[in-house]
Chain A
Amino acid sequence: DSGVTQTPKHLITATGQRVTLRCSPRSGDLSVYWYQQSLDQGLQFLIQYYNGEERAKGNILERFSAQQFPDLHSELNLSSLELGDSALYFCASSEKGTGIPEAFFGQGTRLTVV
């Protein structure tokens, strides 16, 4: 167990809908990262939050957004869903700022858009 918790584990929804994925980082970790894993794209960095602020942005679609709350949990919002958004979405956390770069992953949310 990495200490990073993601909910839900599985999500099935229809095209055009909106979903929210939730991530609780390891205790003490200030950074949360979101990654998308699809069969043809591998593991792609989406976005990073550090202590409530957006820190870095990757290949994240405009239909996707995220935030990190004062208790450091994070949510990834996916809207106007398309079939191609079906993927595993992973959250990872690390303790940036102390020179400890190791990132630990949650178990992921498998999103299926039908």
Chain B
Amino acid sequence: GENVEQHPSTLSVQEGDSAVIKCTYSDSASNYFPWYKQELGKRPQLIIDIRSNVGEKKDQRIAVTLNKTAKHFSLHITETQPEDSAVYFCAASDYNQGGKLIFGQGTELSVKP
């Protein structure tokens, strides 16, 4: 069935360092890969996304890469700040078939000042 594996489950970095979170998906029909940031008790917020016809996308300190052949995609955060501390979720979907999101298990990122 559809599955998304996300690693690591926890990540601790020093302020200013980079953080990388990796996901692997199983459904080859997936064509849309969003990343959500969730602070404790709050809603998941879309921070960046990538479609299957693109290999890389960047938005300021955040970038996402996609390797369709390997079914891998990754989130890169550079120059981390304490306010980046949150749980990050990757997800995969086939938006031609309705767009339901299959989420990874989440990564708790802690940025230490």
Contacts and interface: CB of A to CB of B under 8 A. Distances in A.
**Chain A interface SS verdict (over half):** strand
A101 B89 contact: no
Contacts of A102: 34, 46, 49
Nearest to A55: B98
Contact of B44 (A43, A55, A110): A43
Interface in A31-51: 31, 33, 35, 42-45, 48, 50
Interface stretch (B13-21, B60-68, B99-107): B99-107
A107 B42 contact: yes
A64 interface: no
Contacts of A99: 95
Contact of A105 (B41, B43, B51, B95): B43
Q: Which bucket holds chain A's interface residue count? A: 20 to 34
B87 to A, nearest CB: 10
Nearest to B31: A101
A106 interface: yes
Contacts of A45: 100-103
Contact of A56 (B41, B89, B98): B98
B97 interface: yes
A16 interface: no
A94 B99 contact: yes
8 contacts: A33-B100, A43-B89, A56-B98, A94-B99, A96-B99, A103-B99, A105-B43, A107-B42
Interface of B: 32, 34, 36, 41-46, 49, 51, 89, 91, 93, 95, 97-106
A-B pairs with the 9 shortest C-beta distances? Answer: A101-B95, A43-B103, A105-B43, A56-B98, A101-B32, A55-B98, A45-B100, A56-B100, A101-B99
